[in-house]
Amino acid sequence: MSTRDEWIEAGNSAGSSSFSRWIRVVPALLLIASATFVAAYYVPLRRAHMLLIQEQQRSNQKGTDLEQTLSQVRGELQAKTAELDKLDAERQQAAAAKRTGMERVEQVKTEIAGKLDRHIKKGIAAVAAAEGRAFVVLSEGAVFLPGTVDVSPQGQGILCQVSGALSASGGEAPLRVGAVSGPPDAVPPALHAAYPTPWELSAVRAATVAQTLQDKCAVPGARLSAVGHAVHDPAAAALGETKLPPGRVEISIALPGAPPAGK
CATH of the domain at 174: 3.30.1330.60
Provide the pLDDT for residue 15. Answer: 54
Determine, yes or no, domain membership for 37: yes
Determine, yes or no, domain membership for 85: yes
Cα 72 from chain centroid (whole Å): 27
Identify whether the C-beta of residue 124 lies closer than 8 Å to the C-beta of residue 139: yes
Domain co-membership, 142 together with 238: yes
Percent of the chain with pLDDT over 70: 74
Determine, yes or no, domain membership for 139: yes
Domain co-membership, 243 together with 143: yes
Last-in-domain residue among 50, 67, 97: 97
Domain co-membership, 126 together with 212: yes
Determine, yes or no, domain membership for 15: yes
Q: State the helix-helix crossing angle for 198-216 and 153-170, rounded to 10 degrees.
A: 70
Listed range (85-89, 138-142, 204-208) with the worst mean pLDDT: 85-89
Query: Cα separation of 160 and 76, whole Å?
Result: 61
Identify whether the C-beta of residue 259 lies closer than 8 Å to the C-beta of residue 173: no
Q: Is residue 192 packed enough to be buried (19+ CB in 10 Å), middle (13-18) or exposed (0-12)?
A: middle
Domain co-membership, 140 together with 250: yes
Cα 44 from chain centroid (whole Å): 66
What integer is the mean pLDDT of 159-187? 86
Determine, yes or no, domain membership for 263: no
Provide the pLDDT for residue 259. Answer: 47
Which one of 61-75, 139-153, 163-177, 244-258 scores highest in mean pLDDT? 139-153
Q: Name the pTM for this structure.
A: 0.60
Determine, yes or no, domain membership for 214: yes
Tell me which residue range forms the domain holding 159: 116-254
Q: Helices (DSSP H) in the chain: which residue ranges?
A: 3-37, 43-115, 117-122, 140-143, 153-170, 189-194, 198-216, 236-239
What integer is the mean pLDDT of 197-209? 94
Residue 149 DSSP code: S
Give φ, ψ of 260 to 5 degrees: -70, 170
The residue length of the chain stands at 263
Last-in-domain residue among 97, 127, 150: 97
Domain co-membership, 129 together with 229: yes
Identify whether the C-beta of residue 236 lies closer than 8 Å to the C-beta of residue 137: no
Determine, yes or no, domain membership for 105: no
Three-state secondary structure call for residue 258: coil
The radius of gyration computed from the CA coordinates of the chain, to the nearest angstrom, equals 53
Quick: pLDDT tens for 87-112: 777 776 655 555 555 666 677 677 78
Whether the per-residue pLDDT at 205 is higher than 90: the answer is: yes
Provide the pLDDT for residue 219. Answer: 93
Determine, yes or no, domain membership for 107: no
Query: Cα separation of 251 and 241, whole Å?
Result: 19
Domain co-membership, 120 together with 215: yes
Quick: pLDDT tens for 37-96: 656 666 677 777 788 888 888 888 888 888 888 888 888 888 888 888 887 777 766 555
At 262, the pLDDT band (50, 70, 90 cuts) reads: very low
Q: How many domains does the chain have?
A: 2
Least Cα distance to 178 among 248, 108, 105 occurs for 248
